[in-house]
Amino acid sequence: MAASVAYRPARRPLPASLMSKPVLYAMVVVAMVVSGAQGGSVKHYKWKVDYQYWSPDCVEKVIISINGQYPGPTIRVREGDTIVVEMENLMPTEAVIMHWHGMQQRGTPWYDGAGGVSQCAINPGETFVYRFQAEKAGTYFYHGHLGLQRTAGFYGSLIVDVGRGVQEAFEYDGELSILLNDWWHRSAIEQGLGLYSDPFRWVGEPQSLLMEGRGKYNCSLVSGGDAEEAAGDRPRCDETNKQCKPLVLRVQPGLKYRLRLASVTSLSSLNFQIEDHNMTLVEADGNYVEEVVLDNLNLYSGESYSVLIEAYKQPPGGRKTFWVTAHVQGRLPKTTPALAILVYGDGEATTPVSSPPLAPAAWNDTAFSLRQSRMIVAKKGTIPPPASSDQQIILLNTQNRINGVIKWAINNISLVPPTTPFLPALKFGLKLAFDHTIPPVSYPMTTYDIFSPPKNPNANFGTQIYRFPFNSTVDIILQNANSLTVNNSEVHPWHMHGHDFWVLGYGHGKFNPEVDPQAFNLKNPPLRNTVPLYPYGWTALRFVANNPGAWFFHCHVEAHLHMGMGIVFAEGIEHLDRLPRSTMGCGLTKTWLP
C-alpha cells in the first residue's frame, strides 16, 4: 500500500504518479461543501461505525471501523472550515464517543468527545452529529474516547491546511502521512476487563507496531493447529493478506516532502527513523517550531509532528529502496520494530538490500529522550507565555491499590468519570452529579519519597474537579514517582483537551517550587497539547484558562487513563450558551429528553 500523497502547488506541480491514493474522501466519506462562516466552508461527513474483521498485522481480529475502513477516513480541511461529522453507531453492543485530538473546540466544548466530561455516549443504533471549527492549521487526528476503543482501531487522521490565500511557513513539493500505532491480538474489551479485575491482569506489551494500520506478525508464533483454527479457537494468521502488506512511501528524486507523523499508540513510546535520510522538524502538535535537523524522532502517544525530507537527486549506491522504522522507546522492548519501505520513483517496492536501522539509543536512555525534547522550541514570532502565573498546582503521579486492585492516581485520587457528564452538571448546577470538594493542589512534598514505592499504597476513587477563574494563568507541574514495583518509574505522555500549553521545562527528581521556576524557559517555550513526563522527573507547563468548558487532562496511555490517571478542570462555564440536547440524556439528564 502506498502512502497518501497530497497535491500542494506552492512550488511546482507533482508528477501524476504521486497521486496514487486520495488523501481523503474515498467511498468512505460523503463530502458536501457549502458556504461557511468567516469565509470558511462546511465539510460534511457521514460515518457508519461498526465491527469488522481485519488483519492489520496478518492476524485476524475484530476491530472498530468507520465505513468499513481501517484506519478511519482522513479528514482534510482548511483553517477556518467547519467540520460536521454525522456518526451512526451500528455496533449492536457497544457505545462510542469520538475525540478530535488537538481541536480546541472554542465555543463548542460539548463536541470535544470525552466520555463522562463533555457528552453522553452514543448508544447502539443512535446517530450523533459533531459540529466544530478547524481553528488552526496543523497535523491532528481523531480517536475513540470511551473505554479502550483506540486500542480497537477506532482512529484516523485529521489534517488542517492553511487558510485560502495563506502561504505555508515552509515550502515542499509533496506530502506523506503516517499514523503510528501499537497492536494487540486480545480484544480491547478483554484488556479492559483485566484492568479492573481481581486479580489484576495487565494488558502486556503489544504484539505488533503498525504504520498506517499495517504491520507484520510472525505467523509461526500463533499457537494451535488447523483443528483449533477451524473451530474458531485459534487466531487466523495469513502473511499474504493484503491488509498487512507493508506500507510503501513513494518519492521522486530531488523533491522535498512534508511527512506528517502522529502517534495514536495505546501504550508505546516510539522512535521513528528513515534509513540514510535526515528529517527537518517544522511543526509539533499544530504549532510551528524552529527548524531542527534530526536523524530520528521520538513520538509519545498523542503527539504529532511534521518533518521535511529531501529526496536524493541520485540516491547513494543507486539504491531505490530504504527502510522506514519505528522502535519501542521508554519500555523494555518485547515488540519487533515496525517496518515500511521508502521507494524512489515508480518501481517495485523491493526489500531494501540493507538491514533495518537499529534503535538509536537504549530503551531506557532517558537522557537521550530528554535532550531531544529540549531541542524543540517555538518558532520566532510565536506568542510567548505570560511572565507569571496566577495559580500553580503540582500533580503527583502514583501507582496505587484500591480495594486490592492496581490503579493510577493523581494526588492520591483515581479519577472515575461520573454517569452525568461534568459539562452539563456544571452548566445546570446539578450538585448531586459529582463530588464538589476541591481536589488537592499538591502532595506532601517534604515527606513523600518519589524514588521508592509508596509506603502507603492506598488511594481513593474520586469525581472532584479543579476550577480555574476565567482568563487566569495556570502552571501545572507534573511530578513522576516510583510505581508499586521497586526501581520502576514509567513515561507518561500527558494530553490536554481544549488548550495548547507552553512547555516551560523538564527536570529530574523532585520539583522544588522555590528554585526550579528560575530556570523556566519563558523566551521560546514550545506550544503543545501533549507532553512527556519522564521517569523520576517533572514537567512544567503553563496555559491560560480562556476557553469556557470542562476539560480532560490525562495520561494518553489508554490503560493508564482507564485506571484513573487524569484530572478534569473547568473554566468560564458562565460564558457558555445553551448546550445541545443531543449531548445529554444520561445520568441526571436522562429524563430531560423526550
Boundary residue ending a domain (326, 347, 375) = 375
| The pLDDT of residue 299 | 98
How remote is the C-alpha of 556 from its chain's centroid?
7
- Tell me what the mean pLDDT of segment 445-460 comes to: 97
313: its cell numbers: 537527486
Please report the beta strands in 98-213, taking only residues with DSSP state E, as ranges in sequence order: 98-101, 127-133, 138-144, 155-161, 174-183, 208-211
518: its cell numbers: 528560575
* Cβ contact 105:119 at 8 Å: no
The overall pTM is greater than 0.75: yes
- Same domain (yes/no): 310, 180: yes
Q: Is residue 385 situated within a structural domain?
A: no
| The pLDDT of residue 12 | 36
Q: Can you tell me the distance from the alpha carbon of 103 to that of 134, in angstroms, rounded to the nearest whole number?
A: 7
Confidence band (pLDDT; 50, 70, 90) for 272?
Answer: very high
Q: Is residue 69 situated within a structural domain?
A: yes
Q: Tell me the β-bridge partners of 477.
A: 394, 540
- Same domain (yes/no): 318, 395: no
Contacts with 487 (C-beta within 8 Å, 6 or more apart), sequence order: none
Q: Tell me the β-bridge partners of 33.
A: 43
> For strand 256-263 and strand 174-183, is the pairing parallel, antiparallel, or unpaired?
parallel
Q: Is residue 484 situated within a structural domain?
A: yes
| The pLDDT of residue 239 | 93
| The pLDDT of residue 518 | 97
Q: Is residue 381 situated within a structural domain?
A: no
- Same domain (yes/no): 366, 405: no
Confidence band (pLDDT; 50, 70, 90) for 1?
Answer: low
- Same domain (yes/no): 291, 429: no
Number of domains within the chain: 2
- 99 by DSSP, 3-state: which? strand
* Cβ contact 32:42 at 8 Å: yes
- Same domain (yes/no): 213, 360: yes
- Average the pLDDT over each of 65-69, 228-232, 262-266 and give the range with the smallest value: 228-232
Confidence band (pLDDT; 50, 70, 90) for 590?
Answer: confident
Alpha helices (runs of H) in 201-297, residue ranges in sequence order: 226-230
- Same domain (yes/no): 501, 540: yes
Q: What is the CATH number of the domain that holds 168?
A: 2.60.40.420
Provide DSSP, 289-338: EEEEEES-EEE-TT-EEEEEEEPPSS-GGG--EEEEEEEEESS---SPPE
pLDDT digits (tens, 9 = 90+) for 472-503: 999 999 999 999 999 999 999 999 999 999 99
Q: Is residue 90 situated within a structural domain?
A: yes
- Same domain (yes/no): 478, 353: no
Q: Is residue 380 situated within a structural domain?
A: no
- Same domain (yes/no): 260, 400: no
Confidence band (pLDDT; 50, 70, 90) for 433?
Answer: very high
How remote is the C-alpha of 587 from its chain's centroid?
28
- Tell me what the mean pLDDT of segment 220-238 comes to: 65
* Cβ contact 213:180 at 8 Å: no
- Same domain (yes/no): 368, 441: no
Radius of gyration of the CA atoms of the chain, in A: 23
- Tell me what the mean pLDDT of segment 290-301 comes to: 98
284: its cell numbers: 509539533
Q: Can you tell me the distance from the alpha carbon of 303 to that of 47, in angstroms, rounded to the nearest whole number?
A: 25
Residue type at 508?
A: H
pLDDT digits (tens, 9 = 90+) for 57-75: 999 999 999 999 999 999 9
| The pLDDT of residue 529 | 99
* Cβ contact 294:371 at 8 Å: no
- Tell me what the mean pLDDT of segment 223-232 comes to: 50
pLDDT digits (tens, 9 = 90+) for 119-150: 999 999 999 999 999 999 999 999 999 999 99
Q: Is residue 9 situated within a structural domain?
A: no
Contacts with 165 (C-beta within 8 Å, 6 or more apart), sequence order: none
Residue 263: closest CA among 318, 216, 206: 206
Q: Is residue 131 situated within a structural domain?
A: yes
- Tell me what the mean pLDDT of segment 386-396 comes to: 98
* Cβ contact 294:372 at 8 Å: yes
| The pLDDT of residue 146 | 97
* Cβ contact 102:268 at 8 Å: no
Confidence band (pLDDT; 50, 70, 90) for 79?
Answer: very high
* Cβ contact 464:434 at 8 Å: yes
Boundary residue ending a domain (347, 375, 403) = 375
392: its cell numbers: 500553580
Q: Can you tell me the distance from the alpha carbon of 236 to that of 226, in angstroms, rounded to the nearest whole number?
A: 10
Which structural domain range is residue 168 located in? 16-375
Confidence band (pLDDT; 50, 70, 90) for 232?
Answer: low
* Cβ contact 44:30 at 8 Å: yes
How many angstroms separate the first and last alpha carbons of the chain? 48
pLDDT digits (tens, 9 = 90+) for 335-384: 999 999 999 999 888 999 999 999 999 999 999 999 999 999 999 999 99
pLDDT digits (tens, 9 = 90+) for 277-293: 999 999 999 999 999 99
Q: Can you tell me the distance from the alpha carbon of 579 to that of 427, in angstroms, rounded to the nearest whole number?
A: 8
Q: Strands across the sheet with 269-274, in order?
A: 248-251, 338-344, 321-329, 269-274, 297-299
| The pLDDT of residue 40 | 86
Q: Can you tell me the distance from the alpha carbon of 436 to that of 418, in angstroms, rounded to the nearest whole number?
A: 12
Boundary residue ending a domain (375, 410, 438) = 375
271: its cell numbers: 522512535
Q: What value, to the nearest 5°, has the Cα angle with vertex 152 and ends 223 and 132?
A: 170
> For strand 82-89 and strand 61-66, is the pairing parallel, antiparallel, or unpaired?
unpaired
- Same domain (yes/no): 172, 30: yes
- Same domain (yes/no): 551, 423: yes
Work out the mean pLDDT of the chain and round it to a whole number: 92
- Same domain (yes/no): 363, 435: no
Sign of the dihedral defined by the CA atoms of residues 163, 165, 170, 171, in that order? positive
- 50 by DSSP, 3-state: which? strand
Q: Tell me the β-bridge partners of 263.
A: 180
